[in-house]
Amino acid sequence: MAPIGLTDVAITDFVVNQRHGVKGLVDIISPKTLPPCYIQLPEKRVTTEKLIMEAATTGKGALSAPVIPVIDVSDWKNPNVAEEICEAAATLGFFQIVNHGVSVDEQNELRAAGRGFFDLPTEEKKRYWEGSSVSDTAWYMTSFNPYKEAKLEWRDYLKFEYLSDQVDFAATWPTVCRTPHQLFAWTSPLASPSGGRRRVSTRRSPPRFVTVPSLCPLTLLSPPLPPCFISSVYRRVAAGLGDSNRWLWVSTASLERWRGRGEPDLSWRRRQAGRSRVSHGVDLGQISPGGFAGVALRRCLCRSGQYSASTVSPMSPLTAALMGLSSCFACCKELWLLRSSSFRRKLVVVLCLSWCFVAGIPCALLAWWDQSPAIKPLLPPASTPPLLHIPQRLEWTSLLSMAGPGLADPASHVLLSMSPSGWSAVPRTILRLRFSIGPSYFDAGFDEDCGRDEVVNHSNRMKPIGRKILEILMNNLNARMEEETLMGTLRMNVNYYPECPDPKLTVGTGHHCDINTLTLLLQDDILGSLYARYGDKWLHIPPVMGAIVVNIGDMLQILSNDRYKSVEHLVMASRFLSRISFAYYCGPSYDSVIEPLREVLENGEKPLYKPTMYSDYMKYYFARPHTGSKTIESIKLP
Ligand SMILES: O=C(O)CCC(=O)C(=O)O
Ligand SMILES: [Fe+2]
C-alpha cells in the first residue's frame, strides 16, 4: 500500500522527475510501506527459498554448497594465485581478493567520500542528474533506467568515467568526492586491533556498585525533534533526519568538552559528510570497567545514514540510579577474546554495548522503548524487568526474552549462519537490537592527513590490480594482454541503497551481468546484500573485511568464447541499514570490436558470438531495464 496521499505517480515524480532519488524518498517522505512502484514481479525478487544458505560442510553424505573463493594475492607471481583466479573465472565468475595493497583506511576514505555525495542536499545532487549533468564525466541517477522500467530499483548511483588521457577530467566532479575529510580524525577506541587502552576486566568478584554523580537529569526524548538541554546543538543534528528508531547517546560531560574546545558547531554541521558522532560519556565508562575509559574524550564515529541517529536522545542515569559495573564484562570474557577477527570484534562490541544498555540504564532504555512505537513490537510488554535494579549477572536468556523473536529476513539468516559457533542463541537478539536501534560503535578511525582525491585515487589503486588479473586470465588463454581491448575504458559506479521498508518485495540492483571485461567491487559490511546466480539459486557473496570482489563481465566471456563466465548478480536492500558500494569497471575502448579471440579458436572451435563494437553493446544494455543475461544473448551466433 502506498503511503497515505502518495500515489505511485506522485512517488515516481518525486524520485525521478524531481530528482530526489530513492534516498530523498526515504529521508523526506519516509514511507512505512514499500510504494507499489518498487514492488518487483515475483520472478525478480529474492526469497529465502531461492538462496543458497548453507555453508559448505564436509563429511559423509554432506551437501557441499559452493563458496566464492577468497584469494590471497600478496604474491601475484605465485602460480596458485593464477590457478585459483582462472578456476573461479571459469566456474562461478566471481571471487574475492585480499592482501591486494589497498588498505582498509583507504577504502573507508572512499566510503566517506561516496556517502558525502549522497548526503548532499537534493539541490546539489540534482546538478549531476544524468542527461543534464554539470560534469561530462560524472552522472547521478536513480534505479537503473527509470524511464524504461515498469518497476524501480531501490538504489541511487553516481557514475564516474576516468579519462586518464585528459589532464583534469575530474575538475567538475562533486567537490565532496575530492576534498580531504580531515574531520574524520577521531579514532574510535574500539577500532584499534591492538586493544590499546581497552583493558577488559576479567574479574569475577561481585560487581562493585558505584553511585554516579548526576551529570544531568535523564532526558528521554521522542521524535521528531527532541526538546533538550542544549537545544542549539541537538536541533542541528536532528534536523533533516527522518527515521525515528535510531539514537545517539550523549552525555553532558562530553558535550561540555566539545564546547570547551570550540568544536561542536563545526563538527555537527559537517555531518553531511557522512558521519555522526557518538560519545559514550563518562557514565558508560564507569559501568564498563576499563572497557570504555576515556571514551568521552576520544569520541567514536558512527556512520551517518547507515547507523546514525535520527533522534537525539541524550541519555544519562537518573539522579538516583545506581550504576553498577556491567556484568557483561565479567561474564562475556570469552567474547572479548574473539576480537582478533574484525567481523567478530564488531559483533562483540555490539554485544557488549547492548548489554551495557540493559545492565546499566534499564530504566532509561525501557522507558524509551515503551514510548517508541517503532521499537515496541520487538518487546513483549510482559517481559519488562523491574527497573532501578541492576542485576549482578544478567543472563543471555533475560536479554533474549526482552528482545523478542529473532529476525526473519535473509540478511540476518545469513549472518547467523556465519556467526561463530556457540553464539547461536545470542546474536539473533543482539542483531535485532543493532539493526533496530543501534548506531555502529565500531567504525574504523580515519587518517588525519587524508588529503587525496579519494575517487580519482581509487582508480589509480584499482587499475594495476585489474591489469594483473586480466594478464593472468589472458595468459591462461595463451593470448596477449591488449590494454586497449581489456581496459580502454575505466568507469565507476558508486551505488547507494537506503534502508528499505520491505526489501523482500524489491531489489537494490536488479539481476544483471556486467557488460565490461572485469569489475572490481568494494562492498560494504552488510551481510545478505550481494548475490550471484548459481543454477536457479542465488549464492551469497559475504563481505570480507578489506577484500575486493572481482567478477567477470560479458566482454571477457565473449573474448574467451565462454571459457570465462559472466554471471548474473543482484543486490538486496536492507531493512535497517543503508549500503554503499563501489563498482570499478574495466572495459574495452568504445570503438573496440569484440569477438572471440583468435587464440581460443585455434583448434577449430566455432565462435559463439558475432563481432560487436563495444559502444553498440553499451547502447543496447543501457536502453533497457536490467534483464539478467539477455544482453549477451543478443549477439549469440545460432
Ligand atoms: O552494489 C553492489 O554490490 C553491486 C552493484 C553492481 O552489480 C554493479 O554496479 O554492477
Ligand atoms: Fe554488476
Average pLDDT, 10 consecutive residues per value, the chain (638 residues) = 69 95 90 94 88 52 72 95 98 95 80 78 88 88 94 95 71 59 21 26 26 22 23 25 27 34 28 32 34 27 24 24 26 23 26 28 31 33 28 23 23 30 30 25 24 69 96 97 94 93 94 97 86 92 88 98 97 86 96 96 96 96 88 95
In angstroms, the first-to-last Cα distance of the chain is 45
- ipTM associated with this complex: 0.99
Q: Is the CB of 523 under 6 A from ligand 1?
A: yes
Question: Domain tally for the chain?
Answer: 1
Cα-Cα-Cα-Cα dihedral sign, residues 603, 605, 611, 612: negative
- Asked if 504 and 562 touch (Cβ cutoff 8 Å), the reply is no
CA of 17 to the centre of ligand 1 (A): 24
* Core vs surface per residue 487-499: b (16+ CB within 10 A) or e: bbbbbbbbbbbbb
Is 96 inside any structural domain?
A: yes
Residue whose cell numbers read 577521531: 186
Cα-Cα-Cα-Cα dihedral sign, residues 128, 132, 137, 140: positive
At 574, list the grid cell: 536492507
CA of 583 to the centre of ligand 1 (A): 6
Within 91-145, residue ranges assigned H as helices are 104-118, 122-126
What are the DSSP calls for 585-611, one per residue?
A: EEE--TT-EE---HHHHTTSPPPSB--
What residues are paired with 539 via a beta bridge? 52, 532
Closest-lying ligand 1 atom to the alpha carbon of residue 508: 1
Residue 630's pLDDT is 85
Q: Is the CB of 40 under 6 A from ligand 1?
A: no
Q: Is the CB of 574 under 6 A from ligand 1?
A: no
At 70, list the grid cell: 577468497
At 219, list the grid cell: 532526558
Which helix (H) or strand (E) segment holds residue 96: the answer is strand 94-98
Question: What is the C-alpha to C-alpha distance for residues 608 and 377, in angstroms, rounded to an integer?
Answer: 56
Which structural domain range is residue 583 located in? 64-178+453-634
Is 486 inside any structural domain?
A: yes
Question: What is the C-alpha to C-alpha distance for residues 543 and 385, in angstroms, rounded to an integer?
Answer: 37
Residue with the smallest CA separation from ligand 1 atom 6 is 583
- Asked if 330 and 427 touch (Cβ cutoff 8 Å), the reply is no
Closest-lying ligand 1 atom to the alpha carbon of residue 512: 7
Q: Parallel, antiparallel, or unpaired: how do β-strands 156-162 and 489-497 relate? A: antiparallel
Is 166 inside any structural domain?
A: yes
Is 343 inside any structural domain?
A: no
8-state DSSP, 628: B
Question: What is the C-alpha to C-alpha distance for residues 512 and 550, in angstroms, rounded to an integer?
Answer: 15
Closest CA to 406 of 426, 433, 432, 375: 432
Q: Is the CB of 495 under 6 A from ligand 1?
A: yes
CA of 182 to the centre of ligand 1 (A): 28
Question: Quick one: 91 exposed, middle or buried, by C-beta within 10 A (0-12, 13-18, 19+)?
Answer: middle
Is 160 inside any structural domain?
A: yes
Ligand 1 pocket mutation pick from 571, 574, 580, 622 by most atoms within 8 angstroms of CB = 571
Q: Is the CB of 581 under 6 A from ligand 1?
A: yes
Q: How far is C-alpha 509 from the geometric centre of its chain's CA atoms?
A: 14
Residue 5's pLDDT is 59
What are the DSSP calls for 20-55, one per residue?
A: -HHHHIIIII--SS--GGG---GGGS--GGGEE-PP
Query: Which residue type does 372 have?
Result: S
CA of 584 to the centre of ligand 1 (A): 9
Q: Cβ of 599: how many Cβ atoms within 10 Å?
A: 15
Question: Quick one: 588 exposed, middle or buried, by C-beta within 10 A (0-12, 13-18, 19+)?
Answer: buried
Residue 123's pLDDT is 86
Is 139 inside any structural domain?
A: yes
Cβ-based neighbours of 307, under 8 Å, separated by 6 or more = 246, 276, 438, 439, 440, 443, 577
φ, ψ dihedrals at 584, nearest 5°: -100, 115
Closest CA to 404 of 435, 383, 385, 373: 383
Question: Quick one: 473 exposed, middle or buried, by C-beta within 10 A (0-12, 13-18, 19+)?
Answer: buried
Residue with the smallest CA separation from ligand 1 atom 2 is 581
* Core vs surface per residue 166-187: b (16+ CB within 10 A) or e: eeebbeebbebbbebbebbebb
CA of 569 to the centre of ligand 1 (A): 8
Stated pTM of the model: 0.62
Nearest ligand to residue 567 Cα: 2
Domain holding 559: CATH number?
A: 2.60.120.330
Is 275 inside any structural domain?
A: no
Question: What is the C-alpha to C-alpha distance for residues 119 and 249, in angstroms, rounded to an integer?
Answer: 22
Residue 168's pLDDT is 67
Ligand 1 pocket mutation pick from 157, 160, 509, 618 by most atoms within 8 angstroms of CB = 509
